Amino acid sequence: MAMSGMRQVAVGVGAIERTPPDAVLREGVPRLLESVPEHRRTAAVELAHWGYGATAGAAFALLPARLRRSRLTGPVYGVAAWGLFEAGVAPLLGLAHAHGSRPRERWALLIDHVFFGIVVGAPPEAGVAGSSARGG
């Protein structure tokens, strides 16, 4: 959800023309979006992105604890999730933004996903603080 604010700013300043979740639902699976009443489509796009982010966050928890403790793992994971979308999902769905050079948009999305990784990744101190708070 934290990324939503960053994406809206990126759209507002013109760094991103259309957010990836919007592109997926409007270009990749338009029939799915057409089944949603028009006045609820913005919410549907946002919920789709939250669902994707929640799934990616849950998958992060499957990484070995040793990796999750590193401060770099979260941001690297966020960038990898974005890279998977850009290199795999977007071309597979035939999204228009998958073609051509979009340096400003790519930088904005890169920063967005580094932020996602920071939010998802637990700092090493969280494990230490959590174990002493439980009396162990």
The answer to whether residues 45 and 21 touch, using CB atoms and an 8 Å cutoff, is yes
The confidence band for 129, taking pLDDT boundaries of 50, 70 and 90, is: low
pLDDT digits (tens, 9 = 90+) for 27-43: 888 888 889 999 998 89
128 to 68, 90, 125, 134: CA distances (angstroms): 13, 40, 5, 10
| Residue listed under structure tokens 């795999």 | 88
The answer to whether residues 75 and 114 touch, using CB atoms and an 8 Å cutoff, is yes
Give me the phi and psi of 123, to 5 degrees please. Answer: -65, 155
Mean pLDDT of the chain: 83
pLDDT digits (tens, 9 = 90+) for 77-119: 999 999 998 888 888 888 887 777 788 888 888 888 898 898 8
Give the pLDDT mean for 69-81.
92
Report the pLDDT value the prediction gives residue 64, as an integer from 0 to 100.
Answer: 93
Give the pLDDT mean for 2-11.
78
28 to 90, 112, 115: CA distances (angstroms): 8, 22, 25
